[in-house]
Structure 1
Amino acid sequence: MKDFIMLMAEIVNEIHDILNEMFGLHMTDKELHFWVIGIVGMVTFFIVYFLFKLIEKMKWSITIYAFIYTFTGMTVLVFAIELQQAITNRGNMEFADAIAGLKGFLVLFVIYALIALILYTIKKFIGKR
């Protein structure tokens, strides 16, 4: 996990240097963060908005929204736990641990979805009689 974070930091530093050279601007970190995060955030917003408009038309849209929100929260949580382990030296900071935690959520969610689908199918079948 530490190697992954160091790689990501190196990539961000390279992008910082490339942007400064491309535009001939010498932005501070705050200025660079303002523009890059602002632009990435707006692009992400429009993509998410479009996708959520499509999801809105689906039968179980609230379930899909709840899953997306929960998965996003779980992703933040598992990486926060891994960072906390690195800072406090209580446990090993490993990317595989974060993935294992997210797999746990996904497996339990699939079990829930299958049970819900079975119950829904039974309810529909009984309702037709």
Structure 2
Amino acid sequence: MRDIILFLTEVVNNIHDVLIAITETFGFQMTDKDLHFWIIGIIGMVTFFPVYIFFKILSKWRWSVAAISFVYTFTIMTVLVFAIEIQQAITDRGHMEFSDAVIGLWGFLVFFMVYACFALILLAIKNLFKQKKKKISENTSTRTGRHRSM
């Protein structure tokens, strides 16, 4: 994982140098902060639109809040596990390994799947009780000669 981070760092540094050279070629005097402002702003907006569309689609699902919460939490967990691995490399406490990050995310996925199974079971039980209550209500109104109006 250290090699991956070093490689990505080199790529980002090269892109940074190219962007500085391009802006200077066009006569812009951009500081490092100016470059960060523009690049992160553009990346953020380019990211925002597909994420917005994705969440808009998720919001139409019956479990929209759960789906959106899962995606958001998974994103935070991804950032967190990689931050922990980078911190281990910087402080030399533990070993920075990609497999540690992956197994950490698997932990979240497994725990979430256990939660989802319990939630589905509870939802199924709740629906069974609703159906049974509805049948009892219908049988009672049929026996008394009263029918529910729709």
- Aligned-partner residue type, residue 109 of structure 2: L
Aligned mate of 2:62, from 59, 63, 75? 59
Q: Is the counterpart of residue 9 in structure 1 residue 9 in structure 2?
A: yes
Q: Is the counterpart of residue 46 in structure 1 residue 46 in structure 2?
A: no
- The equivalent residue for 1:78 is 81
Alignment root-mean-square deviation, CA: 2.0
- TM-score between both structures, scaled by the size of structure 2: 0.75
| Stretch of structure 1 that moved more, 96-105 or 66-75 | 66-75
- The equivalent residue for 1:33 is 36
Alpha-carbon deviation of 1:13? 2.4
Report the Cα distance in structure 2 between the residues aligned to 1:94 and 1:43, rounded to whole angstroms. Answer: 30
- The equivalent residue for 1:88 is 91
Percent of residue pairs bearing the same amino acid type: 58
- Which of these two proteins has the greater Rg computed from alpha carbons? 2
Structure 1 unaligned blocks of 5 or more = none
Select the structure with the greater relative contact order (CA < 8 A; seq sep ≥ 6). 1
The 4+ residue runs of structure 1 with deviation greater than 6 A are none
Report the Cα distance in structure 1 between the residues aligned to 2:31 and 2:10, rounded to whole angstroms. Answer: 17
Alpha-carbon deviation of 1:111? 1.6
Alpha-carbon deviation of 1:22? 5.3
Structure 2 unaligned blocks of 5 or more = 133-150
Count matched residues: 129
- The equivalent residue for 2:118 is 115
- The equivalent residue for 2:136 is none
SS class of match (2:109): helix
- TM-score between both structures, scaled by the size of structure 1: 0.85
